[in-house]
């Protein structure tokens, strides 16, 4: 039999049990609701993330499509570099031309035109020789061409640029291939080949010229002497641009001697191609050379310098009158003047001096 206390306690326990069940069911319901809500929300978030990723991919693709390719960027950079290089080259060419105006005695040759001219000359010499050119083997032709180049190169160096007579070149070929052999008869063809190779390998023009004859020379005694062809010579002339010659070739210490050679050549040119030695010395006094036999501060031994220019065939020094030794000597331009100095440069030098004098006056 239950007591009042027990009857009061039992209902409270039952109520507590019912509250725990309600709480448990509520918690389960809450978890179910949260789970259903999460399942509904997550697909939406995933879809939004996917859409956003697709949009980012589209933006990236668009940016990549509008961005220039690496090859195009390299091409544009190369074009820009070439444009800058061309601009710098044009400025350098303008500076070179301006500097060349004051650098008398050096001509900037058209190497392309020169090369084509000597290639055509070699082909013309081969056709003129005909079957004799075909009879030469390649080894013989190369050996003879090399011998001609060697002889001209060393002879020009030994004689300080003096033209080499054609007869000496023929003798060198004869010594190599036998006197009177077919090598000598093919001389024109071999020399033409040497001219082309000199230009291609060394940057030298093997210039053909005729040995100059003095105006004061005794007249020919016979018709045969009068009709004799002048002796052919060959001189080496650099085809390097003036700026390269000034920087790498020409000796600055020789500039004073070169200036004297141009002055003497100009005095001869304006004196109708011949000037008496005593008149030349008078002109040199105006330039500070009181006596050619005395040492000069810049030029040294002027008399020896003039003699060397005569030996190099820049000038000729002959008796003014063959029959009168008391008349003294005269100076004239020789064949080396055109190869070493250039007649057009002599004329330009005279023109510049005259223009400067007129501006001062």
**Residue 213 in domain:** yes
| pLDDT at site 13 | 41
| pLDDT at site 310 | 94
| pLDDT at site 135 | 81
**What domain count does the chain have?**
2
**Residue 112 in domain:** yes
Q: Quick one: 169 exposed, middle or buried, by C-beta within 10 A (0-12, 13-18, 19+)?
A: buried
Length of the chain counted residue by residue: 361
Query: Where does a domain end: 249, 265, 282?
Result: 249
Looking at the fold, whether 206 and 296 belong to one and the same domain comes out as no
Query: Where does a domain end: 249, 278, 301?
Result: 249
**Residue 235 in domain:** yes
Angle between helices 277-285 and 255-269 (to 10 degrees): 130
Looking at the fold, whether 225 and 256 belong to one and the same domain comes out as no
Residues 178 and 171: their CA atoms lie apart, in Å, by: 10
| pLDDT at site 277 | 95
- Pair of tokens at residue 274: 């011949």
246 contacts 102 by C-beta, under 8 angstroms = no
| pLDDT at site 15 | 43
Looking at the fold, whether 208 and 263 belong to one and the same domain comes out as no
| pLDDT at site 252 | 84
Closest CA to 341 of 101, 151, 161: 161
**Residue 199 in domain:** yes
Looking at the fold, whether 219 and 300 belong to one and the same domain comes out as no
| pLDDT at site 68 | 54
Residues 350 and 111: their CA atoms lie apart, in Å, by: 27
Alpha helices, DSSP H, located in the chain: 4-66, 70-100, 111-129, 131-135, 138-158, 166-177, 182-185, 187-197, 223-226, 242-244, 255-269, 277-285, 302-311, 335-340, 343-360
Report helix, strand or coil for 321: coil
**Residue 313 in domain:** yes
**Residue 21 in domain:** no
Looking at the fold, whether 213 and 255 belong to one and the same domain comes out as no
Looking at the fold, whether 200 and 277 belong to one and the same domain comes out as no
In eight-state DSSP terms, residue 215 is: T
| pLDDT at site 38 | 42
| pLDDT at site 76 | 60
Query: Where does a domain end: 249, 272, 293?
Result: 249
Looking at the fold, whether 125 and 240 belong to one and the same domain comes out as yes
**Residue 40 in domain:** no
Residue 263, domain CATH? 1.10.10.1210
Report helix, strand or coil for 317: strand
Looking at the fold, whether 179 and 287 belong to one and the same domain comes out as no
What pTM did the predictor assign?
0.65
| pLDDT at site 205 | 92
Q: Tell me which residue range forms the domain holding 217.
A: 107-249
Looking at the fold, whether 132 and 245 belong to one and the same domain comes out as yes
Looking at the fold, whether 245 and 128 belong to one and the same domain comes out as yes
Q: Quick one: 159 exposed, middle or buried, by C-beta within 10 A (0-12, 13-18, 19+)?
A: middle
Digits of tens for pLDDT over the chain (361 positions)?
444 333 333 344 444 444 455 445 544 544 444 344 444 434 444 445 555 655 555 455 555 555 555 555 666 665 666 556 555 555 555 555 544 544 554 557 788 898 999 999 999 999 988 887 878 888 888 999 999 999 999 999 999 889 999 999 988 888 876 434 555 568 889 999 999 999 999 999 999 999 888 887 776 667 766 667 778 999 998 888 888 888 888 888 888 888 899 899 999 988 989 999 999 999 999 888 989 989 888 888 999 999 999 999 999 999 998 888 888 999 999 998 887 777 777 777 777 777 777 776 6
Name the one residue in this structure whose structure tokens are 């003014």: 320
Looking at the fold, whether 319 and 350 belong to one and the same domain comes out as yes
């Amino acid at each position: 039999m239950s007591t009042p206390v027990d009857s009061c306690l039992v209902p409270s326990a039952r109520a507590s049990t019912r509250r725990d069940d309600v709480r448990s069911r509520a918690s389960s319901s809450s978890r179910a609701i949260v789970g259903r809500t999460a399942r509904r929300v997550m697909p939406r978030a995933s879809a939004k993330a996917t859409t956003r990723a697709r949009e980012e991919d589209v933006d990236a693709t668009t940016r990549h499509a509008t961005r220039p390719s690496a090859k195009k960027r390299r091409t544009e950079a190369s074009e820009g570099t070439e444009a800058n290089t061309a601009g710098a080259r044009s400025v350098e060419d303008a500076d070179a031309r301006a500097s060349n105006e004051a650098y008398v005695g050096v001509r900037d040759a058209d190497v392309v035109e020169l090369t084509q001219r000597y290639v055509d000359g070699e082909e013309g010499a081969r056709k003129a020789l005909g079957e004799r050119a075909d009879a030469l083997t390649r080894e013989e032709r190369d050996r003879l061409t090399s011998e001609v180049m060697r002889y001209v190169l060393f002879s020009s160096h030994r004689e300080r640029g003096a033209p080499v007579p054609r007869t000496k070149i023929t003798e060198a070929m004869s010594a190599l291939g036998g006197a009177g052999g077919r090598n000598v008869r093919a001389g024109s063809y071999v020399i033409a080949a040497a001219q082309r190779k000199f230009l291609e390998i060394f940057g030298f023009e093997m210039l053909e010229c005729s040995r100059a004859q003095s105006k004061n020379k005794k007249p020919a005694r016979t018709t045969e002497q009068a009709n004799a062809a002048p002796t052919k010579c060959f001189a080496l002339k650099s085809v390097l641009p003036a700026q390269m010659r000034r920087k790498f070739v020409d000796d600055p210490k020789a500039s004073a001697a070169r200036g004297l050679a141009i002055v003497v050549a100009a005095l001869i040119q304006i004196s109708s191609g011949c000037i008496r030695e005593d008149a030349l010395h008078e002109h040199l006094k105006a330039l500070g050379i009181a006596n050619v036999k005395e040492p000069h501060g810049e030029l040294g031994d002027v008399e020896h310098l003039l003699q060397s220019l005569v030996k190099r065939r820049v000038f000729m020094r002959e008796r003014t009158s063959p029959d009168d030794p008391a008349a003294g000597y005269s100076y004239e331009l020789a064949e080396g003047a055109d190869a070493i100095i250039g007649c057009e440069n002599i004329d330009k030098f005279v023109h510049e001096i005259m223009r400067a004098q007129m501006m001062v006056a």
